[in-house]
A and B are shown apart, each in its own frame.
Chain A
Amino acid sequence: MGAPFDFSYVLDFLPKLAATLGITLLIVAGSLLLGIVVGFLIALPRLYNVPLVGTFSKVYVSFFRGTPILIQLFLFYYGLPEILKLVDVDLSRTPVLLFVILTYGLHTGASMSEMIRASVMAVDRGQVEAAYAIGMKRHQAFSRIILPQALGIALPVFSNTVIALLKDTSLAFTLGLMEMTGKAQTLGSITQHFVEAYLALAAIYLAVSMTLQKLLLRAELRLRKHEAPEAPTKQPFGLRRKGLRRRFAAGLETGKGGVKL
């Protein structure tokens, strides 16, 4: 492919690509925001067993998690205007960026809803009962007791979702959007130095992912500060296994301690 490898091109491309980082981050931020809202809307009916909406949620999640993001992009970009044309809504002048954010947002919403559902269910039911017993109402128990703890549980999964989303946005170039990957493609075509362009691109993605991961890890530590900080971090293997088993046994529901006759 093209010209012989020349490292100076990598350095040359780096700032040019970084200039389009804004669009990539805009897609990430926009679809995260939309994803969190959609995630709650999809997760809550299933958590509280709302009959019809619950089924819709299930179908929604299976669709977005069971089909490739690339196909979803095509379906929304080419399909949605066709459908809306039937009801006389013209989308032909809508910027591509909006389609991209919508698709990634809905896509992320599916993983977010699963994440929200799992972490809310992971909060000990007894604490909710305790909250009711001291006279809290349902929404108070949710926002003051469940949510803060669920956030701590959800954060590791959330980090994964954010990083996966960042990398997935590279597919938006297929719709002709000039985000980072699109830009790299163009730079490569102009100069015929494709490898250098992709190397620079990879370096930027890596730097951004690692920064995001660090930030989210710090947030996670802060949200989970209530978990015994003096818990041993390094222990010989045998000891740790024993400790784990003990902790598992301690966590088991002992049920009612009634005397069996």
Chain B
Amino acid sequence: MIKLTNLSKSFGRQQVLKSIDLTVNTGEVVVILGPSGSGKTTLLRCMNYLEQPSGGEIAIGSFSLRCRRASKKEIHELRQRSAMVFQQYNLFRHKTALENVMEGLIVVQKWPKAKAREKSAALLEKVGLAGKLDAYPSQLSGGQQQRVGIARALALEPEVILFDEPTSALDPELVGEVLEVIRRIAKEGITMIVVTHEMGFARDVANRVVFMDGGVIVEEGTPAELFQNPREERTRQFLKRIAPVPNYSI
């Protein structure tokens, strides 16, 4: 279970996150929606301490830390309990697909090489890249790179995987293959928090959808509730812009 309490973040004077409370249960898939600049990516990055929150508490499973006085050791512990999939994939460019997945197992979890290679190869096969183990990121398409990124996150068996707009940098025809992989691992019961603009994906896969705007959570609910009967005016406006109701009257 992931629990954020009173989480806030300011860049200088600008408050980007205003005391966010969010609970995600084990096995749940939560999609965060919201307009540009609403703070959804910052929220995700704060959970992994890639951005230092200005205040509040983060708890993952049995581990919790208070953001103001987090020590290096605590931050390290927090990061080991989560994994992140980035918009720009952020693969290690001097390492092959296989080495990218192995890296965390070998360096962080101190696995023996042979065992790490075996597990990584199996994971790459799972994301449909069995034939690309020795390819460098520069030899892979965006979709393939992102699937390596997902395998890299899965390898560490984190308690939660954070997806930061995993398909936003992809060519439209490559979005499907990545979403398909995420959908498959969601079915396995891995806890996920996904920032995305893929409404179809949110509708099909999410257990819960959270709508953010202006650094606060405006409303949350099941996809059916939120997409069909949004309670808040701001949510309604946002959904209208994203998926306008067709109007054929002349």
Chain A residues packing against B (C-beta within 8 Å): 124, 126-127, 129-137, 140, 144-145, 148-149, 152, 225-228, 230, 254, 256-261
Chain B residues near A152 (CB, 8 Å)? 94
| Interface contact A129-B90, CB-CB below 8 Å | yes
Q: Find chain B residues with CB under 8 A from A149 CB.
A: 93-94
Contact of A126 with B90 in the complex, beta carbons under 8 Å: yes
* Of listed A135, A137, A140, residue having the most chain B CB within 10 A: A135
Please provide the chain B residues from 140 to 197 with a CB less than 8 Å away from any CB of chain A in the complex. 152-153, 156, 165, 168-169, 197
Interface: B130 (CB within 8 A): no
Report the separation of the CA atoms of residues A258 and B84 in the bound assembly, to the nearest whole angstrom. 18
Query: B82, B88, B91, B109 — which one has the most chain A CB atoms within 10 A of its CB?
Result: B88
B137 to chain A, nearest CB (A): 8
Known: A144-B103, A226-B95, A258-B34. A133 touches B88 (CB 8 A): no
Is B108 in contact with A135, judged by CB distance below 8 angstroms? yes
Q: Which residue of B lies closest to A141 (CB)?
A: B107
Interface string of B92-111 (1 = CB under 8 A from A): 11110000000110011100
B168 cross-chain contacts in A, Cβ below 8 A: 254, 256-257
Which A residues are in CB contact (< 8 Å) with B41?
Answer: 256, 258
B93 touches A130 (CB 8 A): no
**A126 in contact with B86 given A134-B152, A226-B95, A256-B36 (CB within 8 Å):** yes
Across-interface contacts of A145 in B (CB, < 8 A)? 92
- The answer to whether A127 and B92 have CB atoms under 8 Å apart is yes
Residue B237 interfacial (CB < 8 Å): yes
Chain B nearest CB, measured from A129 CB (Å)? 5
- Main DSSP-derived SS at the A contact region: loop
- The answer, among B80, B136, B169, for a CB contact under 8 Å with A254, is B169
Cα distance, A258 to B136, chains bound together (Å): 29
A78, chain B: closest CB distance, angstroms = 47
CB distance from A134 to the nearest CB of B (A): 4
- The contact of B169 among A140, A230, A257, by CB within 8 Å, is A257
Q: Which are the 3 A-B pairs with shortest beta-carbon distances?
A: A258-B36, A257-B168, A134-B104
Indicate whether B224 reaches chain A with its CB closer than 8 angstroms: no
User: What residues of B have a CB within 8 angstroms of the CB of A148 in the complex?
Assistant: 94
Known: A127-B92, A127-B93. A133 touches B48 (CB 8 A): yes
A260 surroundings in chain B (CB, below 8 A): 35-36
Instruction: Determine the distance from Cα of A227 to Cα of B91 in the docked complex, in whole angstroms.
Output: 13
* Chain A nearest Cβ from B145, distance in angstroms: 12
From B83, B84, B90, B241, give the contact of A261 (CB < 8 A). Answer: B241
A247 to chain B, nearest CB (A): 11
Instruction: Enumerate 21 A-B pairs (CB-CB under 8 Å) in ascending A order.
Output: A124-B90, A129-B84, A130-B152, A131-B103, A132-B48, A134-B108, A134-B152, A135-B76, A135-B108, A136-B108, A144-B103, A145-B92, A149-B93, A254-B169, A256-B87, A257-B87, A258-B36, A258-B41, A259-B36, A259-B241, A261-B237
Task: Using A135-B79, A144-B107, A258-B34 as known contacts, say yes or no to A226 and B84 having CB atoms under 8 A apart.
Answer: no
B207 touches A (CB below 8 Å) = no
Partner of A136, one of B84, B91, B95, B107: B107
Residues of the B chain whose Cβ atoms lie less than 8 Å from the Cβ of A230: 139
Shortest B90–chain A CB gap in Å is 4
B165 touches A132 (CB 8 A): no
Specify the chain A residue showing the minimal Cβ separation from B242. A259
Per-position contact with A for B56-92: 1 when CB-CB < 8 Å, else 0? 0000000000000000000010011011101110111
Interface string of B14-56 (1 = CB under 8 A from A): 0000000000000000000011111011000000111000000
Q: Tell me, yes or no, whether B227 is within 8 Å of chain A by CB.
A: no
Kindly list chain B residues whose C-beta atoms are within 8 Å of the C-beta of A259: 35-36, 197, 241-242
